[in-house]
């Protein structure tokens, strides 16, 4: 496989370096090529997603992505801000299906701010639509009205095919798990979401073995804290999925542990931790590389069909947690707090 490595900003380069070390250690025939993205690319080449970076990605089988975001660049026009790189990649490769699993490892039950009995054994999968919705809907902008008052506006929109394809992905994922799918919408208020619900119900007819339920997003936000284990697979739109997946990550104790996969119809994918660039700890060597290492496992599984190698990585991560290695974000008294590199070393040793 040819893997396009895009470390990005903040802690991105540190955590991606560990994931690449882990991938190299597997003895597979993998080729790596690296390019700048986000704020780093803006500084080097004047654009957060330069054509040369896009071209490298096009020549690859998968993208391993770190993080983008740099508050020093927040005053740039929107199209030059670091975040445009990830949005641009999602759009350029049609990565409409975003898998965000949230798994509670037994050793980390106490790392969550929720009661252990609420989160112990949690294993849910959020499937977020990633290329539509208010994130990309036109028109959008900030305009000045006739009375001189400024107004900001964005447009939520979903076409039927956009809903259908992500619904199929979600039903198929549920089929491989506990066969329960909860579609999260806001059909009581928004027309876009009424269509969402209708289309999901229609697609569901093809999956009679999967139990389909529906929940309004405000209730879903509440139920995720009240009784998260009621869920198996959740499917939702781009913006609701952005919010609910951060919430779900906190059930597991640390956003530093959650990987993600963003796939198109051909299983080409971008793999990234769900956390951001964490500028406050960048360059200190203390960031948790496990979410990125687990994203590399997803890369092997989804884009490479290399299930055994993916499991090897996942087993190694479980083992280092069982051995008591912890980065600062999940540190516990009495256990061994390590930095980014040492955590990578521990995973390599476990492998």
User: Count of residues binding Mg ion (CB under 5 A)?
Assistant: 1
Q: Among Mg ion, ligand IPM, none, what does residue 62 contact (CB within 5–8 Å per kind)? A: none
State the minimum distance, in angstroms, from the CB of residue 242 to ligand IPM.
Answer: 5
Assess whether 345 carries a catalytic annotation: no
Q: Among ligand IPM, Mg ion, none, what does residue 86 contact (CB within 5–8 Å per kind)? A: ligand IPM
Decide: is 242 part of the binding site for Mg ion (CB under 5 A). Answer: yes
CA trace torsion 161, 166, 170, 175 (10° rounding): 50
**Exposure b/e, 92-115, CB count within 10 A at least 16 = b:** ebbbbbbbbbbbbbebbbebbebe
User: In degrees, to the nearest 5, what angle opens at C-alpha 51 toward C-alphas 41 and 271?
Assistant: 70
| Sign of the Cα pseudo-torsion (343, 280, 40, 138, in order) | positive
Element (H, E) at 259: strand 259-263
**Residue number, 15 or 30, with CB nearest to ligand IPM:** 15
Over the window 33 to 72, marking each residue x when it contacts ligand IPM by CB under 6 A and - when it does not, the resulting string is ----------------------------------------
Decide: is 345 part of the binding site for Mg ion (CB under 5 A). Answer: no
Report whether 61 contacts 1 (CB < 8 A). yes
State the minimum distance, in angstroms, from the CB of residue 252 to Mg ion.
Answer: 15
Decide: is 278 part of the binding site for ligand IPM (CB under 6 A). Answer: no
Spell out the residues 6+ positions from residue 161 whose beta carbon is closer than 8 angstroms to its own. Answer: none
Give dist(CA 305, CA 318) in Å, integer: 21
**Residue number, 126 or 286, with CB nearest to ligand IPM:** 126
Assess whether 318 carries a catalytic annotation: no
Q: Which residue is nearest to Mg ion (CB)?
A: 242
Assess whether 218 carries a catalytic annotation: yes
Q: Among ligand IPM, Mg ion, none, what does residue 329 contact (CB within 5–8 Å per kind)? A: none
Choose the binding region for Mg ion from 59-67, 131-139, 220-228, 238-246 (rule: CB under 5 A): 238-246
Report whether 136 contacts 301 (CB < 8 A). no
State the minimum distance, in angstroms, from the CB of residue 221 to ligand IPM.
Answer: 16
**Exposure b/e, 68-91, CB count within 10 A at least 16 = b:** bbbeebeeeeeeebbbbbbbbbbb
Decide: is 247 part of the binding site for Mg ion (CB under 5 A). Answer: no
Element (H, E) at 40: helix 39-45
**Residue number, 245 or 312, with CB nearest to Mg ion:** 245
Tally of CB atoms within 10 A around 40: 24
Q: Is 328 exposed, middle or buried (0-12, 13-18, 19+ CB in 10 A)?
A: middle
From 158, 185, 186, 325, the catalytic residue: 186
What is the footprint of ligand IPM within residues 83-122 (CB under 6 A)? Answer: 83, 86-87
What is the footprint of ligand IPM within residues 238-267 (CB under 6 A)? Answer: 242
State the minimum distance, in angstroms, from the CB of residue 87 to Mg ion.
Answer: 11
Q: Which residues bind ligand IPM (CB under 6 A)?
A: 83, 86-87, 242
Q: Which residues bind Mg ion (CB under 5 A)?
A: 242
Catalytic site positions = 135, 186, 218, 242, 246
């Amino acid at each position: 496989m040819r893997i396009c490595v895009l470390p990005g900003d903040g802690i991105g380069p540190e955590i991606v370096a560990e994931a690449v070390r882990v991938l190299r250690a597997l003895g597979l025939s993998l080729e790596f090529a690296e390019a700048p993205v986000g704020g780093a690319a803006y500084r080097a080449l004047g654009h957060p997603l330069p054509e040369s970076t896009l071209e490298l990605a096009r020549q690859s089988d998968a993208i391993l992505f770190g993080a983008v975001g740099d508050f020093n660049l927040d005053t740039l026009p929107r199209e030059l801000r670091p975040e445009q790189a990830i949005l641009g990649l999602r759009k350029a490769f049609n990565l409409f299906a975003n898998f965000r699993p949230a798994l509670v490892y037994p050793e980390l039950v106490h790392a969550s701010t929720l009661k252990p009995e609420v989160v112990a054994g949690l294993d849910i999968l959020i499937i977020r639509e990633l290329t539509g919705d208010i994130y990309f809907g036109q028109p959008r902008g900030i305009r000045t009205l006739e009375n001189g008052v400024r107004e900001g506006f964005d447009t939520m929109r979903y076409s039927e095919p956009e809903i259908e394809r992500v619904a199929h992905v979600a039903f198929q994922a549920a089929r491989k798990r506990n066969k329960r799918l909860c579609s999260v919408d806001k059909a009581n208020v928004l027309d876009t979401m009424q269509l969402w619900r209708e289309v999901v119900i229609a697609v569901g007819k093809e999956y009679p073995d999967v139990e389909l339920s529906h929940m309004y997003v405000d209730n879903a936000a509440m139920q995720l804290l009240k009784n998260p284990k009621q869920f198996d697979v959740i499917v939702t739109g781009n913006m609701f999925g952005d919010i609910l997946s951060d919430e779900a990550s906190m059930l597991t104790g640390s956003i530093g542990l959650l990987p993600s996969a963003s796939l198109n119809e051909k299983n080409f994918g971008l793999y990234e931790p769900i956390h951001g660039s964490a500028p406050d700890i960048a360059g200190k060597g203390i960031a948790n590389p496990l979410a990125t290492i687990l994203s590399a496992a997803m890369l092997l599984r989804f884009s490479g069909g290399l299930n055994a190698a993916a499991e090897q990585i996942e087993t190694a991560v479980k083992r280092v947690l069982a051995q008591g290695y912890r980065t600062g974000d999940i540190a516990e008294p009495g256990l061994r707090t390590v930095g980014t590199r040492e955590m990578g070393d521990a995973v390599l040793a476990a492998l």
